Chain A
Amino acid sequence: MLEIKCPYCGKRSQNEFSYGGDASVKRPELGKEISDKDWDDFIYNRKNPRGKHSEFWHHIAGCRQWFKVLRSTATHEIFKTAKIDEEL
């Protein structure tokens, strides 16, 4: 079971969190023209790397904050966690 450091609450076991996917994916701005390709990349296409992956997690059984995690998809090692407005 992963141990994840919530930037607000500290280290907690994984079962307090839910996963939120690739954090490098940015929602396009509302109301802005966007190509099919960019929209499909937002919704469907993923880099899906083996190795360092920045991702969202949500502390659902805690402070209910979304935050970012830099984690290895090869070893599950977590290098860093950060608030949404912080750099990973």
Chain B
Amino acid sequence: MSQNFRLDKGGYINRNKKISFKFNGKKYFGYQGDTLASALLANGVHLIGRSFKYHRPRGFLGVSVEEPNGQVQLYSGATTEPNAVATTVELVEGLVAKSQNCFPSVSFDFGAINNLLHKFFPAGFYYKTFMWPKSFWYKIYEPIIRKAAGLGIAPLKPDPDRYEHKFEYCDILVVGSGPSGLASALAAAKNGASVILAEDKPRFGGSLLTDEVTIGNKKGKDWADETIMELKSMPNVIVKNRSQVFGYYDHNMMVMIERTKDHIENPDKFTPRQKLWYIRAKEVVVSTGSIERPLVFGNNDRPGIILASAAKEYMKVYGTLVGKKPIIFTNNDSGYDTAIIFKKNGIDPLVLDVRLKSESSVVKEAKDLGIKIRFSYGVVNAEGYKKVNSALIGKLNTEKTGYENLEKVSCDCICVSGNWTPTVHLSSQSGNKLKFNEKVNAFVPNQPKQNESTIGSANGSFTLKKSLEEGFDKGFNLSKKITGKDSKISTPTSNEKNYEQQDKFWCMPLPKNKSYKRCVDFQNDVYVTDIELAIREGFRSIEHVKRYTTLGMATDQGRTSNLNGLQLVSNIEKKIIPEVGHTTFRPPYTPVTIGAIVGREVGKHYRPTRKSPIHAWHEKNNAVFVDAGLWLRPRYYKQGNENLIEAAKREASNVRGNIGVCDVTSLGKIDIKGKDSAEFLNRVYTNAWMKLPVGKARYGVMLREDGIVFDDGTTTRISENHFHMTTTTAQAVNVLSHLEYYLQVVWPDLDVNVLSTTEQWAGAALAGPNSRNLLEKLFPNMDVSNESIPFMGFKEGDLSGVPARIFRISFSGELAYEINVESGYGMFMWEKIMEQGKEMNIEPYGTEALSTLRIEMGHVAGSEIDGRVIPSDLSLDGMLSKKKDFIGKRSLNRKAFIEPEREKIVGVVPLDKKTMIPEGSHLVADSNASLPNPKLGHISASCWSVEYNNPFSLAILINGKKRKGEKLYALSPLKNKVIPVEIVSSHYVDPKGERVRS
């Protein structure tokens, strides 16, 4: 099809570059610089989609972000994009788009039956029905409703595109590049301020692109182009098009989305699709302009009914006609401009003006051009189903409640103009409580709550002269405040038409016995009758009206409907609009791609991955890794076809009988220095620390102030005033903050400094009866005897030239040493251990074997220290000093904490000595009791005991202290398991702890 609605000349499109694209399977042509919408209109395509609820045919109402109807599905597969607004989609070669929410096609849509039945589906109908019988809602009704829900189709594959983030600071961020925005950016930049100018559209200039005005004896558009050129040449200015500032957050944090890829024909491989800018601006100038409001009349949502300003922009920017037989329907002067441009392009419009008359110069110009104007007239009803083909027009009576006469006129489009709504979203988001301006019949910003200034038509200043004045003034004054400089440029003279006359009448009454549907919210299918019904039913607050009817809640966020809705409520309730109030504006201004918000935190980069310096060795040796917080730790080292349990048994047995080595680098480590260090530990831990000798380690338990166990670990006295603390992997970060809090906030008088050294040290635990022999080989010049390095002893050594710390501590319950070297030597240490240990058949062991070893020893870990237990629950009462106070001690005497039947850690063995008890099972007295079955405790950790070759578990059990020998049941209904068990000591292996001291 040829572009037979394209004017022969004019517009800012590149007519030398023809672009082909597909819409609903059919091939069309447009030009570079078109939007999908302008190209479709140039081809005479108006029927774009179907409405949400009633499936009414819909075409373009607008030309940009205000568009409620023209949403399409772009492309297919992983790169498909649902709900793309065609008026904002730039045309590129090969673009593929199709209509949404229609089946089988936009032209013939089964869903349109809803329109015939619309009487039965008024606002909120679903609250009143679908209740009987009970189960039918979710079995029958809801699935049907869900089939009809949604607009476009979501991709189901991962997004192949990339998105980036950028952080910027500036003195002044100017949002919008219309006359006031350009003026303020220029004035501020010339006065030395750092400026970012952001324009949502591809082209700068705002209204200067379409208005026939002059600034400083230049055409408005030329002035805009030159100003942009000048701004771009200045080093203190960033000028961005295709960049929408969508959110105004606290402390002048502005967020902007820049479209960087979709409009480029052959983008480079790594071009991000979009960039999200976090901009911290000292001052924000909101010059976001205004949006025209539609007029409301019968079937005012038919394709071919379009905002007058949009029709004008299609002609002026895209050289595209929205019709060849237009009606201009207006209640103000600005609609005449569209009529004049039609006329100048050789097309005769008919102007219907609801006002009695207007004396404005623009009306006079229209009259002088011979344009037909009928005052006191309006469109009563639009006719034509898939495209308007005629209009029932009527002469309004003096009260504007009915008609003196009605007649039918043929037309192929109706351009509507119902006043302007300032785009106050960002101002409102900043916290500015809006005020109603009677003169412009709309809400405008009031007192700024942050460093925000709204100017130009966003501020209700609808003349060019005023916009420029506000822009130059604001730009200068704000920059002066920041830079202290005083170079002011004078405001150029300007010349414009006068459009200030307007009428507040906006909703055409129904003729007698007619019930035309009059649309208020196009995308959400909200009609005048819906709002009337809501109020009739008592939903009188504007928020109730909004929620009950869904007015303004569609993806266009009511840009073209909110004010009309308010006017309607105001008319019905006989309240003035400011009393009705308005609903709150929330970010984002237009929907923002979720991927862009997320940025690069995707896939493996969702969160950092922490690896020990020995990681490569583990990988090479068939380690199967497990996530431990952000760390990856070897869970086991797979040999042959063995599974997790088999591997853990093998590795753990080798520790019990011989020697194993485990990478413990991920343990939290904190260096503590200062003369009060021992005193500090004494307050932080529950046990006594003052008398710990240099060269010795001690196990410690920390509580939260509420008495709950926070963390545990060993701390070693390296020298008199120097300690090395270890924490669990999970709590390392929190423990450091905890210590810093007490040192800096609570006890600043203590002379102590703490520093995380987790990353500074690599750690290897040697465990097993053979570990001393290996230690001797590793440190041939050191006395490694039990006397020299006793249990909980510490020594510094020399590992083939590398300084090392040796701690005789044990989590496995065996004779064990932990060797630390600087991280860079971690691999060296590990390889040395493996090399020297080879003849002893040393094997590495992972976290699963580690768990097995600690469980059968009854050592507690994260699965017991779950943020809900107190020390006595874990049989750690002995760790509580009676002689001193410590963090959390005061809480331990609370009633619930001293109850005699309080839970206690115990061991659990299945009676059959075969069945592993699933972790997370509960212990009950009666496996057949009726529900709810009282729970006595839960299984916190299970292993296959390598010592006894049968399953063993730890449990936290009510009154556990007195239940040794009792027979209970471990139940896991999730796994259908009922396991008779016996309660035993939690110290299943070596209860006296002889091995660690051997």
Q: Are A3 and B251 in contact (CB under 8 A)?
A: yes
Would you call B890 an interface residue if the criterion is a C-beta within 8 Å of the partner chain's C-beta atoms? Answer: yes
Distance (Å) between the CB of B133 and the closest chain A CB?
46
Nearest A residue to B280 via CB reads A3
Taking the complex as formed, is B253 at the interface, i.e. its CB lies under 8 A from any CB of chain A? yes
Count of CB-CB pairs between chains A and B under 8 Å: 56
Task: Contact check, B253 vs A31: say whether CB atoms are below 8 A apart.
Answer: no
Q: Is B740 touching A13 in the complex (CB atoms < 8 A)?
A: no
- Tell which of B473-481, B566-574, B689-697, B744-752 binds the partner: B744-752
Q: How far is the CA of A56 from the CA of B249 in the complex (A)?
A: 22
Chain A residues near B280 (CB-CB < 8 A): 3, 13
Q: Is B250 an interface residue (CB 8 A)?
A: yes
Which residues does chain B contribute within 8 Å of A42, judged by CB atoms?
Answer: 705
The residue on B at minimum CB distance from A18 is B737
Please, which residue of chain A has its CB at the minimum distance from the CB of B253? Answer: A1
A30 to B887, CA, bound (A): 8
Contact B885 A3 (CB under 8 A): no
Residue B713 is within 8 A (CB to CB) of chain A in the complex: no
Tell me, in angstroms, the Cα distance from A27 to B744 when the chains sit together.
Answer: 13
B683 on interface, CB distance cutoff 8 Å? yes
In-complex Cβ contact of A2 among B251, B885, B886 (8 A) = B251
Query: Is B402's beta carbon under 8 Å from chain A?
Result: no
Task: Report A28 CB to chain B, min CB distance, Å.
Answer: 8
Q: Which residue of A lies closest to B706 (CB)?
A: A43
Sorting the interface of chain B by its residue count into under 10, 10 to 19, 20 to 34 or 35 or more gives 20 to 34
Q: Which residues of A contact B252 (CB under 8 A)?
A: 3
Within 8 Å CB of B891, what residues of A? Answer: 39, 43
Q: Could you say which of A1, A39, A84 contacts B744, with CB atoms under 8 Å apart?
A: A84
Q: Are B744 and A78 in contact (CB under 8 A)?
A: no
The residue from A2, A30, A64 contacting B250, defined by CB atoms under 8 A apart: A2
Interface string of A63-82 (1 = CB under 8 A from B): 01110000000011010000
Q: Enumerate chain A residues within 8 angstroms of B683, measured Cβ to Cβ.
A: 30
A42 vs B884: C-alpha distance in the bound complex, in angstroms?
20
Contact A76 B741 (CB under 8 A): no
Contact partners of A58 in chain B: CB under 8 A:
737, 740-741
The answer to whether A31 and B884 touch (CB under 8 A), given A13-B280, A66-B745, is: yes
Per the 8 Å Cβ criterion, residues 1-41 of A in contact with B are 1-3, 13, 18, 20, 27-28, 30-31, 34, 39
Considering the complex, give the chain B residue whose CB is closest to the CB of A33.
B890
Q: Which residue of chain A has its CB nearest to the CB of B742?
A: A27
Which residues of the partner chain B approach A60 to less than 8 Å between Cβ atoms?
Answer: 737
A43 to chain B, nearest CB (A): 5
Cβ of A85 within 8 Å of any chain B Cβ, yes or no, is yes
A30 pairs with B885, CB closer than 8 A? yes
Q: Identify B746's interface contact among A13, A27, A78, CB under 8 A.
A: A27
A60 vs B252: C-alpha distance in the bound complex, in angstroms?
A: 23
**Could you say which of B251, B740, B884, B890 contacts A1, with CB atoms under 8 Å apart?**
B251
19 A-B pairs besides A30-B886, A58-B741 with CB distance below 8 A are A2-B250, A2-B251, A3-B280, A13-B253, A20-B745, A27-B705, A30-B683, A30-B885, A31-B884, A31-B885, A39-B890, A43-B705, A56-B745, A66-B740, A66-B745, A75-B431, A75-B449, A76-B250, A78-B251
Can you list 14 A-B contacts with CB-CB less than 8 angstroms, sorted by A residue number?
Answer: A1-B249, A1-B251, A3-B251, A20-B741, A27-B705, A30-B885, A43-B705, A43-B706, A56-B741, A56-B745, A58-B737, A58-B741, A65-B740, A75-B449
